[in-house]
A and B are shown apart, each in its own frame.
Chain A
């Protein structure tokens, strides 16, 4: 069995109206990989937050900019431990390194929770900048 198998590739426009459609796709996909209901919700939340961050920060709220998302089924070292890898790429501005440090939750502040939700929901969350492209890789394994 391949260690990394492409399940779905989609290209979106940077419009908040697409979020509900993506949520509708990712939860059943995660379920088909083998995740339970609670983890499907966590994966959905992480992806929603990732797209929201691209729209708000990388593209500054501009609509109709491209966001590419790939979903791969992955296997860990133990073949029984499958997982879902989600990769987002965009051509927006480079993230501010301070913003990627995240802010502590639990304070009455109306921003900064998205990255915290992503890190709490997924096993791996890694941002990289390659040329003029931002790449976010998130992975969650089945427990």
Chain B
């Protein structure tokens, strides 16, 4: 798994590639929480186009990011979910709690919900 960050005005975009599981979900969680809690970035966008597999520990990292963003009145946005990642989020019954878009352009232009 690899995670890298791009910074636009008031926004951090994380590009995640590879599988997210117990071996690397702590690093993913830490990256999200650093941007939200320490750097106080008001909008964090996660590009999951390169993630073909995610398990419950990966979902937990996304949940931590979403919870932190709600606490801080920030936004936490996902885009580019693969079929299997979407299925796992659906299985968790958390799909509707996240702000999800098809691509980066939509994620960047979407008004706050």
- List residues of B (50-96) whose CB comes within 8 Å of A's CBs: 53, 55-57, 59-61, 63-64, 66-67, 84, 87-88, 91-94
Residue pair A110, B60 in contact (C-beta under 8 Å): yes
The interface size of chain B toward A, counting residues with CB under 8 Å, comes to 23
Residue pair B23, A106 in contact (C-beta under 8 Å): no
Q: Mask for B18-32, Cβ within 8 A of A = 1, else 0?
A: 010111000000000
B97 near A: Cβ within 8 Å? yes
Residue pair B94, A20 in contact (C-beta under 8 Å): no
Residues A56 and B60 in contact in the complex (CB < 8 Å), given A106-B92, A110-B67: no
- List residues of A (44-81) whose CB comes within 8 Å of B's CBs: 44-45, 48-49, 52, 55-56
CB neighbours (8 Å) of B87 from chain A are 38, 41
Residue pair A19, B94 in contact (C-beta under 8 Å): no
Q: Which of B56, B60, B63, B84 has most chain A Cβ within 10 Å?
A: B56
Point out the residue from B61, B63, B88 that lies within 8 Å of A109, measured CB to CB. Answer: B63
A16 to B94, CA, bound (A): 25
Chain A interface helix/strand/loop/mixed? helix
A16 to B27, CA, bound (A): 13
A111 to B21, CA, bound (A): 13
In the assembled complex, how far is the CB of residue B36 from the closest CB belonging to chain A, in whole angstroms? 14
A44 to B53, CA, bound (A): 10
- Which one of A5-13, A86-94, A112-120, A124-132 is at the B interface? A112-120
Residue pair A113, B59 in contact (C-beta under 8 Å): yes
Residues A105 and B19 in contact in the complex (CB < 8 Å), given A23-B53, A113-B60: no
Interface of A toward B, CB cutoff 8 Å: 16-17, 19-20, 23, 38, 41, 44-45, 48-49, 52, 55-56, 105-106, 108-111, 113-114, 116-117, 120-121
26 contacts between A and B (CB under 8 A): A16-B21, A16-B23, A19-B21, A19-B22, A20-B19, A23-B53, A41-B84, A44-B53, A45-B55, A48-B21, A48-B55, A52-B21, A52-B22, A52-B56, A105-B91, A106-B93, A108-B94, A110-B61, A110-B67, A113-B60, A114-B57, A117-B55, A117-B56, A117-B92, A120-B91, A121-B91
